[in-house]
Amino acid sequence: MTSSSVHTTASVAVTAPAVSGSSPPPIVQLLPILLSIIKFSYRAISLLAQASSVIVAPLYLLWPLTLQLLSPITIILSVVLHAAVFTPCTVSYKIIAALYPLYVFCTTACLTGAVVGIFGRYIVVTVLGAFAPSKHTSRRKTIQTQASLPANHPLRRRRRRSVRIQ
User: What is the rounded average pLDDT of the residues 133-149?
Assistant: 56
Which stretches of 2-25 are DSSP H helices?
2-14
Q: Residue 146 in contact with residue 135, Cβ under 8 Å? A: no
Give the type of residue at 115.
V
Higher pLDDT, 67 or 24: 67
Contact 149, 155 (CB under 8 A): yes
Q: Are 123 and 129 in contact (CB under 8 A)?
A: no
Is 128 within 8 Å of 134 (Cβ atoms)? yes
Q: Which of 62, 43, 61, 40 is nearest to 51 (CA)?
A: 43
Q: What percent of the chain has pLDDT over 70?
A: 70
* Separation of alpha carbons 105 and 111, rounded Å: 10
- Boundaries of every domain in the chain: 30-145
The Cα 127–Cα 129 span in angstroms is 5
Q: What one-letter code names the amino acid at 67?
A: L
Query: Does residue 149 register a pLDDT over 70?
Result: no
Residue predicted with more confidence, 151 or 66: 66
pLDDT at position 30 over 80: yes
What is the SS3 assignment for 160?
A: coil
1 has a pLDDT exceeding 50: no
Give the pLDDT of residue 136. Answer: 56
pLDDT computed for residue 145 by the predictor: 52
Question: What's the whole-number average pLDDT of the chain?
Answer: 81
What does the pLDDT look like over 55-111, one tens digit per residue?
Answer: 888 888 889 999 999 999 999 999 999 999 999 999 999 999 999 999 999 999 999
State what percent of residues in the chain have pLDDT above 90: 47
